[in-house]
Amino acid sequence: MIDHFVIFSRTGAVLWSRTLCKLNNNPVDNLINRVLMEDRAGEKKFIDNTYAMQWVFENKLDLVFVVVYQKILQLLYIEELLEIVKKDFIVTFPQQIANKTPVTYEAKFTKILKATELNFTEKHARKGPRGYNASKKAKAKGVKSNTAGKTALSSRSTTTADSSDDGNDSAPSDGKDKNLVELEYEATLRSSKGRTMRSGARHKGKDKATKESKNGGKQRTIWDDTKVSKKEAKALDRSKTITADEEEAQLREKREAYIGKVEASDSDESHVSDEESPASSGADSDSGWSFSKTRVGNFLSTMSGNKILERDDLEPVINPMHQMLISKNVASEVADELCESVITTVVGQRLESFSRISTIVRKALEAALLRILTPKKSTDVLREVLQAKAEGRAYSIVFVGVNGVGKSTSLSKVCYYLKSKGVNVMIAACDTFRSGAVEQLNQHAKVLDVELFQKGYAKDPASVAKEAIKYGADHGYDCVLIDTAGRMQNNEPLMRALAKLVSNNEPDLVLFVGEALVGNDGIDQLSMFDRALADYSDRREPHRIDGIVITKFDTIDDKVGAAVSMVYKTGQPIMFVGTGQKYTHLKKLNARTVLRHLLQ
């Protein structure tokens, strides 16, 4: 029933593999790139197209055992198969494992696979209803229960002996052989040298139901392509007729509020304060986490010796670490998976003399967090804009997110940043439904002294964006920043409209704007936005979220967990963080600074 089984080392050497059914699109490569290298090893299963994959590590020997099968199958014996193969393989090929040389394992694997499948089938076989003759015999047997009981008691030992002798021929190994394999497996692990290696359920956020008030108040907003009367469209327009002097006075006030005095330190190279990373500080430094000062921490600090770490050894350290991550605003499901990833990485390693478990766990967590936060692709928006300019086209960026997170302000900050670098920028007002949205964006455009492309209200956002991109390219603009209406992630009609805008216009960059204050809600919003762009797109390869902008980063002190949660769930980098209301308050994220705040 399985399609593929492979055994390989952490260094990439394939020791043995067997393909029972031809694979498509290299699912094992996707597992390595998207799970094992992304510190998601704590997950139990990985789905890739039509395949499901499960795996097990042997950290002591740097080995990975992977099974690939069709995801529609419910193979409950896979974990048992992996464990049996792992123990047998390590006992059988200790020298080849040490030398990283391929082996021949087909015959033994086939025997183990058949035995595991047969054992599972027999264990879970359904027993049919008892027939008439069987029921009659059982009834007669019940009448003679005393005599039958004595007979059964006297013959039990003989029957057991006979059955055990027969079992040796049918089963691959009896209980004694299994115990022998266990002992050999432990002996093999003890004789091998330890190697330091690096290697993380979904609790869905509750959807918030919204109810419209029937007692007047805010009027219903009309979405999609529904026809709107002139009276309704006029009601959305919040612009006022003012004199030139009044407009100039308002413009000076806005520029003072949003720009103020440009500080010398505000540049594209500025980061959130870059202080000493926890990874560079010693395990015994004063900045170490407080667990080492507890009773359990002191007890663990005194432990040393050449022992193989087991899961029970890590629990006293992992539990406080899990609580610490949640207290720093890391989403609970992300904290669960991170801790499970650390356990998976550390279990099986040798605790060297004069080493502490807390030190090993801390280093594993630091390595995992640093790999998560380090971008896997370029986050230099300016370079990409200039490259598009060299190609003779306008670079387009779409800003998406829920209501009230600061999309328009973040768009304006990015506009100021690009304009200060000599980029010719234009803003497109594609929030054509929220009352006053165009006027709000027009104020930002005036302060920034850039052109605003707008078609008023009650228009199709996808069409407005298409016209804006064409207008920008025709009039020599280098970059078009597209503002969209805020929407809740569970509003299907609005998410379809957003997917249509992205699908029809093929922007160069789609940025999700989220708050730094959120926890579980933040990853729920981001995940559902990303999924909606894929599910509601009419393209074979839909354009999904490319990057993240986090707002209100200056208000959270050391509770920087939202950054970890968002990056972990999507694998997309954080492009910018907002650290204030002014246009100059836009920074690039420093991964080591976030790491320091998380672990201090």
Q: Give the C-alpha separation, 528 to 569, whole Å.
A: 11
Residue 69 lies in a domain: yes
Q: Which range, 273-282, 353-362, 576-585, is most confident?
A: 576-585
In a domain, 106, yes or no: yes
Answering whether pTM is above 0.85, one says no
- 57 and 22 share a domain? yes
DSSP 335-374: HHHHHHHHHHHHTT-EE-TT--HHHHHHHHHHHHHHHHHS
Q: Tell me: do 368 and 408 sit in the same domain.
A: no
Kindly state whether residues 587 and 475 are assigned to the same domain.
yes
On whether both 334 and 352 belong to a single domain, the answer is yes
Lowest-pLDDT range, 145-159, 394-408, 491-505? 145-159
Same domain, 319 and 415: no
**CA–CA distance from 460 to each of 98, 219, 223, 398, 491 (Å)?**
64, 20, 9, 15, 17
Q: Does some domain include residue 84?
A: yes
Residue 538 pLDDT level (bands cut at 50, 70, 90): confident
Write out the residue range of the structural domain in which residue 306 sits: 278-373
Cα–Cα distance, 414 to 417 (Å, whole number): 5
pLDDT in tens, 69-105: 998 888 889 999 999 999 999 999 988 998 889 999 9
Q: Looking at the domain assignment, is residue 254 inside a domain?
A: yes
pLDDT at 221: 56
CATH code for position 94 = 3.30.450.60
| Structure token pair of residue 425 | 């920028």
> What percent of the chain is predicted at pLDDT more than 90?
30
Asked if residue 401 and residue 344 are part of one domain, the reply reads: no
Q: What is the pLDDT of residues 139-167, one digit of tens each?
A: 555 544 444 444 444 444 444 444 444 44
Residues 537 and 411 placed together within one structural domain of the fold: yes
Asked if residue 505 and residue 415 are part of one domain, the reply reads yes
Is 270 among the domain residues? no
* 416 and 536 co-located in one domain: yes
Question: Residue 150 domain-assigned?
Answer: no
Beta carbons of 8 and 64 less than 8 angstroms apart: yes
Distances (CA, A) of 401 to 342, 440, 466: 32, 17, 20
In the predicted model, what is the mean pLDDT of residues 354-370? 85
Average pLDDT over residues 542-557: 89
User: Does some domain include residue 220?
Assistant: no
In sequence order, the 6+-apart residues with CB closer than 8 A to the CB of 68 are 2, 3, 4, 5, 6, 23, 27, 28, 51, 52, 53
Residues 292 and 338 in one domain: yes
Check whether residue 586 and residue 463 sit in a common domain. Answer: yes
Domain boundary among the residues 373, 403, 421 is at 373
Average pLDDT of every residue of the chain: 77
Nearest-angstrom CA–CA distance, 321 and 291 = 8
* Main-chain phi, psi angles of 491, to 5 degrees: -90, 100
Residue 206 belongs to a domain: no
Domain of residue 325, CATH code = 1.20.120
At 109, the pLDDT band (50, 70, 90 cuts) reads very high
DSSP 8-state secondary structure symbol assigned to residue 204: P
Least confident piece of the model among 11-15, 117-121, 145-149: 145-149
Where does the pLDDT of residue 227 fall: very low under 50, low under 70, confident under 90, or very high at 90 and above? Answer: low
Domain boundary among 373, 391, 409: 373
CATH at 251:
3.40.50.300
Q: Are residues 338 and 415 in the same domain?
A: no
Q: Domain count of the chain?
A: 3
* Tens digits of residue pLDDT in 554-570: 888 888 888 888 888 87
* Tens digits of residue pLDDT in 578-595: 998 899 999 998 888 888
